[in-house]
Structure 1
């Protein structure tokens, strides 16, 4: 593998490094399992996205999809880079508030926001609420009336585009739990409803066709469909959108078999399509927003594990067990997601065998990697699992009453603890006796 395509750093000692920090030092200082992020990689990807818009001379927002990984420190990094964030729950919104993130650069998603969550958004002057259904319009209207407040809104629509991805990662098709359907006229009905509500300022529309997408044409088709929709809306009632939010879902490399294009190439294709289609329909090109999550934090994140027991049975691949598993990365069990791992002390050493990297959880399905070539491993060795930055810690649990791992940010050769490791005391802190 060429050095420029290598998904990890190797330092002078021949060890895997993250943000210039030796992974063996990280394991020693912070313990394992451990989640570590290369913060410079996060910043660089944001800059790549921003450059595409600047080069195309369009108004934009790079809105980090925080469900991929939300923490106070993460939101602070996004803020430092002038980014926007989208949140999908009161908990993510509260985290943004505690991080001091500017509320005018927050969008609030979700298909079943509670009245309490909507009140929280209104009270904290969130930049825009993404309306997902008619019930939500009614609830928000009531809250705004009671508080004598106004707020920006956008409609989430389903354009009828199915992404080529895992079934659970498809969100833009007609049969989806998200958004207003365009094909049936439901989206236009929602538009007309919102335009009658003085307390809602209708910015535009949003669509998200799926996740971990490797093909540009789905995004181009969605952009054309959305511009067609906006042209129809302008023709019918004169409404012209100020913002077109095309979501995210740009695929990343998890294993050597993955061959995604650079995430910013998706965006360049989307922007060019929106500009051309807008001009053809004599529409003013709207501001274009994107919502990348995985493509910002996925490749920048790594999980560090310590090898423990091993099981060898003649005729089958050995099990090499580590001190984490489905509690800190549910994706292999939930989505059959594939990952790769390397030996922290010598990542380029020739493999001696192919093993199954198993977790410590009391489930037969707790297999982090099904077929991983590795050199001979021994108890105490540190494995580095690659590209775990998205939806690993975010979906972590306390299954089997295991504490969730610590998270560190690595940058310029220094490591900073940003989420403490949970303790056994934390696990029972909210338990009550009978």
Structure 2
């Protein structure tokens, strides 16, 4: 029996519909523009991005390799700036951050969110204006807050009562009066993975609206003259495609704005609704339309505030994945191909959970194709796996590749621009791959790949 056939009466027939492997696509060579970078194409059978043949990228830079379509990323930055004109757009640096990304942000006029001293250091190292930076984090250290104060970051989002006291003390010590926002957990149920849903009460982020903790945080900040309370912040989760949750969060935050006005006579001028907007990873995924999202958020905030007799606050959003995710791909070289009769074929590549841990961490789904050539061979149910010593080292769980796949072929995985390099690790002492930017038919390294010498550096 061939390695790509499913025998009649096999275990697949006994599975529930949601457990069955996907149907083979009509065209294994198709590059879906809703999933792949905007400049992606097939030229003489091979995948090209930014006008560059992936075979040339692999020869020059090796594999695994992160490839970032500069034109795609910049165009999405401009899309947000246009859709949210009159509001603030701050890129969520945790999605993927390096000096070159910071330069693009500055040139395209966006702000930046950072969640650590290290991320702040990247931004400051290339002269990004500190006033356009917001500092996040549920456990900011005194050193991190001090660095933010000295740099003059535009906003600090406070996340706990401890932090309010800590920041108040440090602000007084350094003669600063930072603008602060309260991170509010609104209780909105985000339909996403448990680990990336962040607005329910039972988790580490923010101060609860329902328990009164958020209102108490406001009281404590207003009691400290060294802090300037300017607004409220909310983030309901990540990879969210249903915008209804954002509207519910906006209503609840507006209600708190009314409570603050009634209790303290204070009208807060800013409202930050966070990010978390989803992208398309596989066929059938739908990503929110950015203009519709912008119009919808502005409309609901305006209506609630006008109904309550409040001036409409300045709106801020924090997209990360939707800016950098679709423009990134990861290139791998096929090593071994192992058929498990009657089930699927395991295709092993030269990376894995060290360069993309999202499948193991979140059960993330991806689209992948044979990238170094086109093929008209029959589809073969495949599982793309890495080279790590873990059975959970899976990059793409179930998809189809051509049955003439061979060692040395290149596989490209789409939509890996967000959170793959950020979460990369050195498990089994694999070096982290390089990141190259492509545009106009040329490529350049924007983050150097690690070597084994890098892995040994610092060891005594």
* TM-score, scaled to structure 2: 0.90
* Pair 1:283–1:351, CA change in 2 (3 A): farther
Select 1:377's aligned residue among 405, 424, 430: 405
Select 2:260's aligned residue among 233, 256, 259: 233
Q: Within 2, Cα distance between the matches of 1:80 and 1:414?
A: 20
Q: Is the 8 A contact 1:250 1:266 kept in 2?
A: no
Matched residue SS, 1:144:
helix
Select 1:155's aligned residue among 154, 162, 182: 182
Matched residue SS, 1:231:
helix
* Pair 1:271–1:330, CA change in 2 (3 A): same
Deviation of 1:349 after TM superposition, in Å, equals 4.6
Q: Within 2, Cα distance between the matches of 1:85 and 1:183?
A: 29
Deviation of 1:351 after TM superposition, in Å, equals 4.8
Q: Within 1, Cα distance between the matches of 2:193 and 2:180?
A: 30
Matched residue SS, 1:220:
helix
Q: Within 1, Cα distance between the matches of 2:161 and 2:363?
A: 35
* Pair 1:307–1:178, CA change in 2 (3 A): same
Q: Is the 8 A contact 1:11 1:20 kept in 2?
A: no
* Pair 1:84–1:348, CA change in 2 (3 A): farther
Deviation of 1:53 after TM superposition, in Å, equals 2.3
| Structure-1 residue corresponding to 2:56 | 25
Q: Is the 8 A contact 1:328 1:393 kept in 2?
A: yes
Q: Within 1, Cα distance between the matches of 2:193 and 2:367?
A: 19
Deviation of 1:43 after TM superposition, in Å, equals 1.3
Q: Is the 8 A contact 1:161 1:174 kept in 2?
A: no
Matched residue SS, 2:271:
strand
Map 1:48-59; keep pairs closer than 5 Å: 48-54=79-85, 59=86
Deviation of 1:257 after TM superposition, in Å, equals 3.0
| Structure-2 residue corresponding to 1:393 | 421
Q: CA-atom RMSD, angstroms? A: 1.5
| Structure-1 residue corresponding to 2:170 | 143
Instruction: Give the number of equivalent residue pairs.
Output: 428
| Structure-1 residue corresponding to 2:45 | 14
Deviation of 1:282 after TM superposition, in Å, equals 1.6
* Pair 1:159–1:348, CA change in 2 (3 A): farther
| Structure-2 residue corresponding to 1:279 | 306
**Long gaps (5+) in structure 2:** 1-29
Map 1:290-305; keep pairs closer than 5 Å: 290-305=317-332
**Long gaps (5+) in structure 1:** none
Q: Is the 8 A contact 1:153 1:203 kept in 2?
A: yes
| Structure-2 residue corresponding to 1:43 | 74
Q: Is the 8 A contact 2:35 2:280 kept in 1?
A: no
Q: Within 1, Cα distance between the matches of 2:378 and 2:127?
A: 47
Q: Within 1, Cα distance between the matches of 2:50 and 2:31?
A: 19
* Pair 1:167–1:343, CA change in 2 (3 A): same
* Pair 1:401–1:158, CA change in 2 (3 A): same
Q: Within 2, Cα distance between the matches of 1:384 and 1:3?
A: 13
Q: Is the 8 A contact 2:89 2:316 kept in 1?
A: yes
Q: Within 1, Cα distance between the matches of 2:245 and 2:201?
A: 14
* Pair 1:93–1:298, CA change in 2 (3 A): same
| Structure-1 residue corresponding to 2:447 | 419
Q: Within 2, Cα distance between the matches of 1:35 and 1:185?
A: 45
* Pair 1:248–1:31, CA change in 2 (3 A): same
Q: Within 1, Cα distance between the matches of 2:142 and 2:429?
A: 32
* TM-score, scaled to structure 1: 0.95
Select 1:111's aligned residue among 121, 131, 138: 138
Map 1:263-412; keep pairs closer than 5 Å: 263-346=290-373, 349=376, 351-375=378-402, 376-412=404-440
Q: Within 2, Cα distance between the matches of 1:340 and 1:399?
A: 24
| Structure-2 residue corresponding to 1:88 | 115
Deviation of 1:347 after TM superposition, in Å, equals 5.4
Is 1:207 aligned to 2:230, yes or no? no
Q: Within 2, Cα distance between the matches of 1:249 and 1:5?
A: 18
Deviation of 1:350 after TM superposition, in Å, equals 5.7
Deviation of 1:314 after TM superposition, in Å, equals 2.0
Deviation of 1:13 after TM superposition, in Å, equals 2.4
Matched residue SS, 2:422:
helix
Matched residue SS, 1:224:
helix
Deviant stretches of 4+, over 4 Å: 1-4, 347-351
Q: Within 2, Cα distance between the matches of 1:67 and 1:401?
A: 23
Q: Which moved more, 1:15-24 or 1:210-219?
A: 15-24
Is 1:242 aligned to 2:273, yes or no? no
Q: Is the 8 A contact 1:351 1:373 kept in 2?
A: no
Matched residue SS, 1:42:
helix
